[in-house]
Amino acid sequence: MSFSSTPLTPDQQKALAAHKAIEYVQDGQILGLGTGSTVHHFLTALGQRVQQGLRVRGVATSQTTAVYARQLGIPLLSNEEPWDIDVAVDGADQVDPHLNLIKGGGGALLREKIVAKVAQQFIVIVDQAKQVPHLGLPFPLPVEIVPFGWRTTQRHLEHLGWPSPLRQKAGQPFLTDNGNYILDLHIPEIADPSVLELSLKQIPGVVECGLFVRMTSLVIAGTNDGPLLTRAS
């Protein structure tokens, strides 16, 4: 992709970051395959490499990713076996200067965090607008909860001081691939992501939250001047 004075669209920036991430994939590796529009670009490029002879196996973080990966001929490992993932590649909804993330806009936060945690290297690919001075609004923090007693869990969360509406789709509660609900916490500014993550996960009914704290190895942001790489310090 050539660069000019004409600004790239967000989708073009995503594609730029995704193609740069392919450079970190090596033959024989096990890859964590994230979820979302930016990862879609990565999967497309990865599928082309697989057709050219690259030998990799993947772990999909969502049913959507699994379906597309199989269409591209990317072999997937079973969910029933332990994984030794070399590189996980995923997008993010927000990235702060410390490379902490908010994820879960697509509803796959639990599986994404399981995969990211076990990966030797976790690479995050984003368009430039996803890089923010602090986590929080305008993007809400997704929290995955069990359906049982969800209104009670919602009340516990709202007692922390923030609106926590139930995510819906077509007028019905949005269901994750795990059969759970999501509450989207409207927090103006997350001052200490690690403290908040711990507090949320102590609430009964909360399965996982979309804060990814000190997990990121490398962020690749697509910009009009090319891919911008930021490594964890």
- B/e letters for 87-102, b = 16+ CB within 10 Å, e = fewer, are bbbbbbbbbbeebbbb
* H-helix or E-strand spanning residue 30: strand 30-33
Pairing state between β 121-127 and 218-223 = parallel
Can you tell me the distance from the alpha carbon of 46 to that of 4, in angstroms, rounded to the nearest whole number? 26
CB-CB contact of 117 with 82 (8 Å): no
As given in the structure block, the two tokens for residue 111 are 């599986």
Can you tell me the distance from the alpha carbon of 119 to that of 85, in angstroms, rounded to the nearest whole number? 5
Query: Residue 13's beta-bridge partner residues?
Result: none
Spatial CA neighbour of 51 closest among 71, 24, 78: 71
Can you tell me the distance from the alpha carbon of 198 to that of 146, in angstroms, rounded to the nearest whole number? 18
Catalytic residue among 23, 81, 112, 144: 112
Q: Quick one: DSSP state of residue 192?
A: -
Is 112 marked active-site?
yes
CB-CB contact of 217 with 24 (8 Å): no
Catalytic residues: 112
